[in-house]
Amino acid sequence: MVFKITFKVLKQGAVLPYSYQYELSAWIYKMISSSNSQLATFLHSKGYGQGFKNFKLFTFSNLYIPRFKNTPEGLKILSPTVDFTISFLVDEVAASMIQPLFEQQTFTLGNKQSQVPLKVDGILTQPLDITSNTLRLRTTSPIVVSTFEVVNDQGKTQAKYLHPHDERYEALFFKNLLDKHQSAVYHQIIAPAAAPLAAQPMQLRVLGQKVRSKLVEIKANTAAATKVRGYLFDFEVTAPQELLKVGYLAGFGGQSAMGFGTCKMLK
């Protein structure tokens, strides 16, 4: 289920921090937890876990801001409305509960230094129709693909965020997709595939030369602050339709519930 949510900007000229994904994710969690549904239990607390893996099977795009001005503090919003898309890989019962959670909600997005008051002005359900094993996609939030590397003699590791042209990128991209699919099947969100998915043809191809890096700070201005690097680009992906649906609704790559890995189809 894919939703386009439009916000009315309640204070023209307000400044939005460049890194706002964590705060937007926190608002989404708050809306979900306000319900007493199974959706809240899974997404807000433990997620769809299987073994050591834990996937919160939703994702959301960057905000689309028609008019803005870059300032040292962030984006000065000059347009009366902004919008974003959010998608969930959920069963039909949970899907019917989602839209009412967000209707007419008012909140303030930002940090202590820069804030924008917003009110939900409209929610549009967008159909998803995947009929091919190959899609051409454009990222609307950065895709994060990472591995861990040892950084000192004591064996300390840290995340290594991979560029789409890295030779390890494609394998890790599809491993994440297969793991998400397996988790969703385990929790009976989707039906098992008729044939083993890992053995079927899969390929990722970057389109064009424009690959843009984006560094996002999570929990900015706190002791727990971390930085995550993802990439914005156009690409063609070939995989079983079951996997393409999971990626489109639950996000491609890692940290989807923090606003990474959302895409739209290219014509």
Q: What is the DSSP string of 7-23?
A: EEESSTT-EE-S--HHH
**Whole-model pTM?**
0.89
The amino acid at 204: L
Residue 33 has pLDDT above 60, yes or no: yes
The neighbouring-strand residues paired with 8 are 81, 119
Q: For the ranges 24-38, 63-77, 163-177, which has the lowest average pLDDT?
A: 24-38
Residue 256 lies in domain: 134-265
DSSP structure string for 189-231: SSPPPSS-STTS--EEEEEEEEEEEEEEEESTTSTT-EEEEEE
At 54, the pLDDT band (50, 70, 90 cuts) reads: low
DSSP 72: S
pLDDT for the residue numbered 40: 61
- Residue 262: C-alpha distances to residues 75, 140, 253 (Å): 21, 5, 9
38 and 108 in a single domain? The answer is yes
Tokens standing for residue 247 = 């990626």
Answer with the one of 67, 100, 126 that is the final residue of a domain.
Answer: 126
pLDDT for the residue numbered 236: 98
- In which residue are the tokens 């937007």 written? 24
* Contact by Cβ (8 Å): 231, 214: yes
Answer with the one of 110, 126, 142 that is the final residue of a domain.
Answer: 126
Answer with the one of 109, 126, 143 that is the final residue of a domain.
Answer: 126
